Structure 1
Amino acid sequence: MSKFAIIGGTGLTQLEGLTIRNAEMLDTPYGATSSAVLHGMYAGREVLFLARHGHPHRIAPHQVNYRANLWALRHAGADKVISVNAVGSIASDLETGHFCVPDQIIDYTWGREHTLFEGDLQHVTHVDFSYPYDANLRKRLSAAIAVHGYSCKYHGVYGCTQGPRLETVAEIKRMERDGCDIVGMTGMPEAALARELGLSYASLALVVNPAAGKSDGVITMAQIDAAIKTGMDKVKSILARVLTA
């Protein structure tokens, strides 16, 4: 039977309603994970949960040990991973509080440990990454969102930046020309590592702010925090629906 893992991002360092059976700190070949892998029951189904930024939220996007996190989830038995991402909106049809289930990604990050295939290898390995998100898992997320009637863009391009700073107006204009619909800081190398490990992977992206230059004012953390607080209740209801569908 498939086992789901949920990677919680900003605003989701713990999963309310998760009945924890075990908290496992795994010794991985890539060092320590961001937090313990929690084994428990959620919405009546066995699930794994890991807080990407630690609990409490303390690890910056460029310092997350993505390799250790993904390796640990597979080692713990996961074969499907739902990544929860807080993002900014670039596309005009995405507003704060809306969701996006991206189908493509562009990587603007640098210097991150981004692959498992390096060092003293027996042979070089290349994985196909034409379609970075699992189609069936995206359909399940999309169906769950539709049942609840939440506003959502059911496809889109996630532009992943280095962080932790937010982007300049010029950078967002470039990303828009590149075709990006949303911008975040944690989509890569997480998605690529999941592919290397053979994990089905999809992103549930919650828009928490307009990207730089997409609103009249400056972006404030107070506005972002308010959007996260409101949106995370919706995120939890979507996750529960996916697990029980």
Structure 2
Amino acid sequence: MAQRDSLLCAFDALLEPGRFKDYGPNGLQVEGRAQVRRLVSGVTASLAFLQAAAEDGADAVFVHHGLFWRGQDGRVTGWMKQRLALLLANDISLFAYHLPLDAHPELGNNARFGLQLGLAADGRFGEQDLGFIGRRVDGTAFADTRQLAQHAELALGRRVTAVEGARGPIERIAWCTGGAQGYFEAAIAAGADAFLTGEISEPQTHYARECAVTFIACGHHATERYGAPAVAARVASQLGIEHRFIDIDNPA
């Protein structure tokens, strides 16, 4: 058993949220019971996830996408009421870390996404140094965009959207999980042959073709399934409490 405040201190010490300018509050977003025996992690604090966590006996949950974001409607109605009501009725604490969870060099979404794809980072790029750039762990290059896309699909267990830009072998690969399509130009400037992220918007197709740098969108949820369980497992082990990761399917 651990104290709720001990979890907050452990998460803050590991993820250093004060270093980041973020889109919402990082840390304890909803206060539940003071003592925690079981921690459940997930990607998003959706109603389906919170229901599953409550059924699993969670005293606290740890997610990447919390409930509160800058500029959102502040009224507690509809889906917000449902999610908060479930947390409060079950006295479950909600811990959420957004950019700090993306950025952690070992346990974060980008680090774990790279590990899943067999990539090793040797540099950072982009705003707040969130983007990772490097090569395959084994030192080999991908023959072309098609081979890289097939490799990503096999590693992630889902289809990807690939726009061929690189005309030849792909050695230098940049990546940033989630909705980081806006980092593509910074990845190009950093010398990448290809950039992998979660989503694609209209401009990226043209940048890929005109700059000869491949762009691959692997899915927002699919690229961010790895950081939350890694961090939660580390903290749970440190504090001697139970942990389980619950993944709610999301095609986005």
TM-score by length of 2: 0.28
The structure with higher relative contact order (CA 8 Å, sep 6+) is 1
Larger radius of gyration: 2
Higher share of residues assigned helix: 2
